[in-house]
Structure formats: C-alpha cells, structure tokens
Chains A and B, each alone.
Chain A
Amino acid sequence: MIFLENVVKRYNTRGGERTVLDCISLRVGKHEKLGILGRNGAGKSTLIRLVSGAELPTCGSIRREMSVSWPLAFSSAFQGSLTGLDNLRFICRVYGVTTEDKIGAVEEFSELGSYLYEPVKAYSSGMRARLAFAISMAVEFDCFLIDEVIAVGDARFHDKCHVELFEKRVDRAMIIVSHSPAYIRAHCDRVAVLSEGRLVSFDDIDEAFDHYAECPV
C-alpha cells in the first residue's frame, strides 16, 4: 500500500508562496491501477514526484509499503553527457541490481544499435524515449509511476510499451497521470481528478470524466 495523508506542497515563487497541492490524501493498494486526471499545471507531476519520494512534502505524510519506481516520464532522470549504456549502469548501481544481464533486453527494446555507446545528448527525442523506457524496465517495482506516457514516440513504440507495462506487468500497481481521458480509461480501474490543488476520488470512471470536463482550465 501507499498512503498519502494531508499532503501539502508549497513552492516559493516570485509572487510569494504558491500552494500546488492542498491537503491531499490518497491510498493505492497492491495491483491497483489509479489514474489521475488534471489539466496542464494542475500539479500532476508534482504529486507523482512526491509519491516517488524525489521531493518531500511541505507537510503531511507519505508512507510506502511497497517498492515504488521513479516517475517514468521517458526523457528525464538521465544524464546527457553519459552514453546510454553508462546510464543503464548508473541506474542499476543506484537500485542495487546487476547490469550485465540487463544489457541484452535494453539493446533489444531500445533498438538503438551502436548508439547505445554514444552520449545520450546525441540522441533524437524518440531514441531518448526508447532508451528511457528500456532502462525503466530493467529494475522491477511493485508500483510504477507513469507520467504522460503518450507524449513521445511512434505507434510501434507505444505498442511495445503497452506490452511491457500492461501485459507483462499486469500484476503491479500503477499510478498514471495524464490529461487524456482516453488513455486513463483504457488502463485504470479507479480515477481521481486533480484541480486547484485538491484531489477528488471517484469510484465510477464516468463520473470522474464528467467532473473533469467541468474543471476550470
């Protein structure tokens, strides 16, 4: 389980303190697939970073009773001046898993060929996305955090991601944030809507979409 209790996140901006998340409580169980809908700038990525532990809440508590991935945003979380292979090594070292047995799978999935041995900054955005996704799959987690999966890549890449995430890892928990109702509908069994710092949970997916449609932009 993952528990969020009364989580508040504020940032200091030039215009004074801004509350991005205002007293959010949330529970995600094993195998559960939660979708979080929100407009651009609603705080979806902030929420995902807090759940992952990359950032700490201003107040409130976050408890993780299962292993949680980093936010799979498909482009960040990597180092441009290192090669793709060195990035894989880095991730494996940080998470304490062996590298050598992962190289084959990453090579195959990313389809980068010899580019795997070039610095990541020389990659196109599609190549970067393929590498990032391939490396993300090298470490196993109980819960995957997925941030805007559909932002990059072609149809073939989407199909491959779909197989890896939603077919091979169907038993895992997932938190998917997106502004696309269609994507959430296809993959989630519960939906919450994030708007103006507040999170409203719905058991019925259609009800959530109705609420989302009425949210101020």
Chain B
Amino acid sequence: MQKTNGIPLSHSFSIQRRVIGALLMREILTRYGRNNIGFLWLFVEPMIFTIGVTALWSVVKSMHNYHFPITAFAVTGYSSVLMWRNTVSYVNHSIKPNLSLLFHRNVRVIDVYFSRILLEITGVTISFVALCTLFSVIGWMWLPVDMFKVIGGWIMLAWFGASLALAVGTLSERSELVEKIWHPVSYLLFPLSGAAFMVDWLPPAAQKIILLLPMVHGLELMREGFFGTNVVRAHYDISYMAVVCLCLTFIGLAWTKEVVRNVGQE
C-alpha cells in the first residue's frame, strides 16, 4: 500500500514509526489536553464500575455466604469489554477529523488507525494494571496465580480489539449506518461477552453458543490465570480466537486500502 518509490524497507519502517509517533502525540494532546486531568478518566471510569460491582456483591454475599473473588472478577470483566468496545468506537469515523493530515505523503490512513488503536490499548492496559495493583494493595483481590496465562489472554483480547476496530472502523467510512448499529450491538455484546459470568456456570447448550463469541475465549484464559484451575473451570479455544482475529485483521487491512482509494473525495 505504501508507495515505496524505491525506498528501502528499513527506511519506510523508520518513517512509519516517526509518523505514528507524531500522530500519537497529537492524539494525546487533543484527547487529554495539556493539563493532564483528562488522563485520569482512563482510571476513574473502570474504577467506579469495579467498586460498584464489588459493593453490590458484598450485599448479596452477606445473604448467601459465597466465596468468590468478586473484585478481580469485575476488574477482568470490565477491562476486557473496554478493550474491544473503546478501540472500535475510537477508530469509527476517525478519518474525517484527520483528513487534513493526509495531505502529507507519509501520513496514511493506516497510520491514523494504528496510532488510535495503540493509544487505546495502552490506556486500557495502564488502567487495568493500575487497578489490579491498587485493589491488591488494599486487599480486595490477589495477584494472579499464573501471570503467563493472564498476559496471554490480555494479548489475545488486545489483538481482537485491534482487528475488530480495523474491520468496523473501515466499514464505518463506507456507511453512516455502521456506527449507529455498532452502539446497540456493543451494548448487547457487553453481557454476552463473559464480563459478568464464567462459561462454566451456563447450561451446556448455552455454552456452545456463547463460545462462538471470540472475546469470551481470551477472557476465560485470563481468568484461569488469575484464579487458578482450583477456583474456576475455564472453557476456551485460543486457536479459534486466533483464526477469527486473523480473518478480521485481513478484512480490516483490505478495507483500509479501499479507504485510501476514496479519501480526499470532498
């Protein structure tokens, strides 16, 4: 897609890194402003949710006497939703406000997408790590049993978020309808994504259907890493999730090419 014009690949790579760096700085400035207060919202939003869920659960628990690591459950669930919901909505219609930047040869549509996806994933990751640390310190949750599985699940969720954002984001450049439909769809997906349940709690017939959703697999893997196999029985098939992500990535990249062809039509 990049017209190399005989420029060696390593040079193209350094140009792309430079451009994405510049776009990242620009996004940070426009999103969070210079006074850095806006940056706090990155943590506050998931924190309110997690504290709320923990509080609700504590009331229920006092009635039923369950033993379940609810805070960790809420943190993993909500952060996983942020990973695919925020990346998609942030990439949707991201070309129009950046159209003027595409006047510069080295700034490509894909750079705009990459920088936005990168910023969003970084933000969600920072807030996830910070919240886990905070809640561990105050004793509401424990550190993961198997860090390797947590990181693996997190990376898969990040890949899913990025590839879904590419596919839906490029589609949103074709039709206004896409964003309008995405909103109700994302609300529907929230409860279905495993944020509020473990697959094992469902009847077997429902498990089959719910496991068609790729993000469920990443989350189950992450929770198995968090709680250990003694506490939860996780259901996941990472190769299935990887195939879906790979398909979405290819679709997204192919459609990005279409967007490139159609920019500047105004």
Contact = CB atoms under 8 A, between A and B. Distances in A.
A82 B262 contact: no
Given A90-B25, A93-B18, A78 B100 contact: yes
Contacts of A71: 103
Main secondary structure of the interface of A (DSSP, over half): mixed
Nearest to A50: B264
Interface residues of A, number: 29
B212 to A, nearest CB: 36
Contacts of B100: 76-79
Contacts of A79: 26, 30, 98, 100-101
A90 B22 contact: yes
B55 interface: no
Interface in B101-136: 101-107
Contacts of A91: 104
Contacts of A78: 100
Interface stretch (A22-30, A51-59, A169-177, A202-210): A51-59
Contacts of B10: none
Given A53-B3, A71-B103, A77-B101, A90 B26 contact: yes
B101 A82 contact: no
Interface residues of B, number: 26
A93 B264 contact: no
A94 B107 contact: yes
Main secondary structure of the interface of B (DSSP, over half): helix
Given A53-B3, A55-B263, A93-B18, A86 B29 contact: yes
B264 A49 contact: yes
A158 interface: no
B230 interface: no
Nearest to B5: A64
Interface string B246-266: 000000000000001111110
A12 B174 CA distance: 12
A96 interface: yes
A53 B7 CA distance: 14
A55 B264 contact: yes
Contact of A82 (B29, B261, B263): B29
B21 interface: yes
A70 B105 contact: yes
A12 B261 CA distance: 10
